[in-house]
Every structure is written in C-alpha cells, then in structure tokens.
Amino acid sequence: MSRIGKMPVKIPSGVTVEVNGGKLVVKGTKGSLTYDLPNGISGKVDDGVLQLQRSSEEREAKALHGLARALVNNMVHGVHKGFEKRMEIIGVGYRVQASGTKITLSLGFSHPIEMKAPDGVHVEVDKEVKNLIIVTGADKQAVGEFAANIRKLRKPEPYKGKGIRYVGEYVPRKAGKTAKK
C-alpha cells in the first residue's frame, strides 16, 4: 500500500475542496486550482480531511495513488499559502525590471529579453535588492517552471559565478588559468 497515498490531506480553514466524479476543485484565498484524478483513484471529503482511495492493487494504481495525493496536497498548500521562488542576478551590468506580468532582463546579450508570466504566476523585483526576482503563485508546477525558464537564460557559470541562481543555491567554483613561471 502506498504510504504517501493513504495519508489524509488536511484542509485548512478558508479552503474548500469539491470532488465531482473524477474532477477535484480546490479554492482558497490565493486562487482556484482544478485536477483530473487518474483512473482508479477517487476522493472523499469528511470533517476537513480529504482521503484518496484506489480501486485496485496494481503497481500503476499504487504509484498514481501516491502521486495524486502529493499533487492534491500541493494544491491545498498553494491556494492557502502559495509558493515562492527567489532568484538573484549576479554580474556586472545584469539588470531586471518588472512591469505587471512582464519581466525584462538585461543579461549581457545585445538585446533585452522580455518574458511574460503565465496565468496565476506573479513576478516582482525586490525594491531594496534590485537584482532579486520573486516568483509567486498558487500552482507549484507553474511557479517552478517559470523560475527554471528564467534561470535557463543565463545559468551561473563556475569561474566567476555570474548568472541567475536561486537564493541559497550553491554553485561549485573552478580555479581559473594560472600563469607559468
């Protein structure tokens, strides 16, 4: 039996979970998310707790049971508290500006790069630390994917450490060339 799948999902106050057949709708203060439950997985809400059950003991059903429970738990956490990724830009002349749902990055290329945040994802630049990007939203996958796409534009390089990295990320450094005597 899936250890993750059989754990109940606690529903905090202010969050509503509705199960309509194979569709699950989670609503909270940060937004609303929907999820189509996999075949063979069903859900039931009782006294502020969501419990997912599976219909068979096949290997695939067991794996989907744990996966569905983890995704639903992330949805409940996302609509209640939200998810956040913080990224810092390190490098001379590297800049970032945010306006609405757009972000404009100057990363040493011949042109600035504009990226539009997907629906449900909010991007802002810290006012005190100018090169700090904060990506927030209710959908964990959308927040992580957008942050990864920003990082992909200029990954941190190992010699000087320039590039875009997550706050607290360790970048292994390499020694540069040394002159012969």
| Averaged confidence pLDDT in the chain | 91
Instruction: Examine the pLDDT at 42 and tell me if it is beyond 70.
Output: yes
pLDDT for 82-107, tens place per residue? 999 999 999 999 999 998 889 999 99
DSSP-assigned states of every residue in the chain: --TTTTS-EE--TT-EEEEETTEEEEEETTEEEEEEPPTTEEEEEETTEEEEEES---HHHHHHHHHHHHHHHHHHHHHHT-EEEEEEEESTT-EEEEETTEEEEE-SSSS-EEEEPPTTEEEEE-SSSTTEEEEEES-HHHHHHHHHHHHHHSPPPTTT--EEEETT-------------
- Range of weakest confidence among 19-23, 30-34, 126-130: 126-130
pLDDT at 164: 95
Q: How confident is the model at residue 21 (pLDDT cuts 50, 70, 90)?
A: confident
Of residues 66 and 176, more confidence is placed in 66
**Whole-structure pTM value:** 0.89
Q: How confident is the model at residue 2 (pLDDT cuts 50, 70, 90)?
A: low
50 bridge partner residues: 9, 45
Instruction: Examine the pLDDT at 24 and tell me if it is beyond 80.
Output: yes
Sheet holding 132-137, edge to edge: 121-125, 132-137, 83-90, 163-166
**Mean predicted confidence (pLDDT) in 56-68:** 89
58, amino acid identity? E
The position carrying tokens 């609509």 is 79
Please state, in angstroms and rounded to a whole number, the distance separating the CA atoms of residues 38 and 63. Answer: 11
Share of the chain above pLDDT 70, in %: 98
Sheet holding 23-28, edge to edge: 16-20, 23-28, 31-36
Please state, in angstroms and rounded to a whole number, the distance separating the CA atoms of residues 27 and 74. Answer: 13
pLDDT for 113-160, tens place per residue? 999 999 999 999 988 888 899 999 999 999 999 999 999 999 999 999
